[in-house]
Amino acid sequence: MSVPFEKIAPYTYRIPRHGKMRVDAVFYASETILRQLEEEDYASLKQLVNVATLPGIVEPALAMPDIHWGYGFPIGGVAAMDADEGVVSPGGVGFDINCGVRLLRSSLSKEDLEPLKERLADYLYARVPAGVGSERRDVRFSRRELKDVLREGAQAVVTRGFGEPEDLEFIESRGRLPGADPDRVSPRAMERGAPQLGTLGSGNHFLEVQYVDAIYDLEAARAFGLFEGQVTVLIHTGSRGLGHQVCEDYVERFLKRLSLYKIELPDRQLAAAPIKSPDGDDYLRAMAAAANFAFANRQLITHFTREAFEAAGFAPRDHGLRVVYDLAHNNAKFEEHKGRGLLVHRKGATRAFGPGHPELPRVYRPVGQPVLVPGDMGRYSFVLAGTRGAMEKTFGSSCHGAGRRLSRAKAKKLARNSDIVGELARRGIVVRAKTRATVWEEIPEAYKDVSEVVEVVHGAGIGKKVARLRPLIVVKG
């Protein structure tokens, strides 16, 4: 099956409504990204077409330039559903509910860090467990405390001394989605999540110490507290086994209810239920609980990161680590756009609210929301700012990263005979990882060049370049 599309603006392509599509679809790409989509036989664009068939979807179905194939929805997909008539789909959120990134800024310069870089890498690796099945043995939460985390999010762990109250101001939704109900989360999900608070997980999750090597927008950089040569930390992780189990539980449940709700799907991975149904409500409450777990998870890792800097020799007054922003990229959230109540699914896509939005911290309202776009471990990441263009065109959404080009199996095969850790060390990047296989899976060649993705976002007006960050230390599972 081919996918018909036409260019309608710089970096902007439209797939006209056809077949069972209820709305047009729009995706963002450069010529290079178009060639990459062609190489995959437009598999992710076909998924976008499928998304456009869902009941209650509001035009257009969207995909960001980091688009690649995912479960049901393409990763990089955005689907806004009418809050009264639409459906909610766990595949439109993803298995790692509220996977996201948090950026910390410091008072340190790259030169301050260099003499203690190896030592800091060791302390970070020791303090922040990473990898498949990783658990914290020194920080435990009782079942009652875990339920508090699922209801309250980051606030629950700040109250217990993990971080500072001011951290909450700079987290999307202040680190708590409303409506969360731990009783909608299965015992199996609770069991999987309980020991994993404060851990990174595996795959593309990481903790990176970086430095600001370029500033593109001085006003926004100043608002975000960024300066050239500054040491920063980027944390990428989500809801671990708890979120995965919530998604698995509700996909299975929704598949059994499709005939009840008379929902016809081109792909069963799009399993959905009406937002206004008991099933839809149960999922949204369980999803919010898993999202709150993820916010708390990143908050704990922030606390352990500060401890690692201090153990390495940087006093709190010297490192000055503060949260710039914490931004989710696997959520469904109730929002108002153009006067209409919507449930916006973002899967591998982030909010990018523009200047003046009341949900933003006051210090950021003049310039727009920080948008954090991690790249691969060998090149760079970017900080963008949300724009009015994103509010007009993409329901206030932007890209979330570089986007994979190679499967993990292909990446491992390509890297097997290479000394990836040694090559990165020669470029001044210290790697600490649980296994070689994790590093092989995440080689730079496995990803699109994130600068290409960012140029599309910037050129299309759905995000504005602010700063570029280069890695110094990489901690992976």
Residue from 347, 404, 394, 401 nearest 372 by CA: 401
Is residue 14 a contact partner of residue 26, using CB atoms and an 8 Å limit? yes
Which 8-state DSSP code applies to residue 447?
B
18 is catalytic: no
Contacts with 251 (C-beta within 8 Å, 6 or more apart), sequence order: 90, 91, 269, 271
Q: Helices 240-261 and 278-312: crossing angle, nearest 10°? A: 170
Residue type, 135: E
Residue type, 475: V
Identify the three-state secondary structure at position 471: strand
Contacts with 262 (C-beta within 8 Å, 6 or more apart), sequence order: none
> 244, 329, 345, 400: which is the annotated catalytic residue?
400
Is residue 429 a contact partner of residue 474, using CB atoms and an 8 Å limit? yes
Is residue 72 a contact partner of residue 46, using CB atoms and an 8 Å limit? no
Residue from 96, 4, 11 nearest 48 by CA: 4
Cis peptide leading into residue 182 (ω within 30°)? no
| Residue 279, H or E segment | helix 278-312
- What does the alpha-carbon distance between residue 429 and residue 9 come to, in Å, rounded to a whole number? 39
Structure token digits, residue 245: 């189990």
Is the Cα dihedral 105, 108, 114, 119 positive or negative? negative
Structure token digits, residue 298: 């990143």
Residue from 45, 83, 41, 51 nearest 64 by CA: 45
* DSSP structure string for 146-208: HHHHHHHTHHHHHHTTSS-GGGGGGBGGGG--TT--GGGS-HHHHHHHGGGTT---STT-EEE
Which 8-state DSSP code applies to residue 47?
H
Residues forming a β-bridge with 193 = none
- What does the alpha-carbon distance between residue 429 and residue 423 come to, in Å, rounded to a whole number? 9
Alpha helices in 9-153 (DSSP H): 31-39, 43-51, 110-113, 117-127, 143-152
Q: What are phi and psi of 140, to 5 degrees?
A: -120, 145
Q: Which residues are catalytic?
A: 400
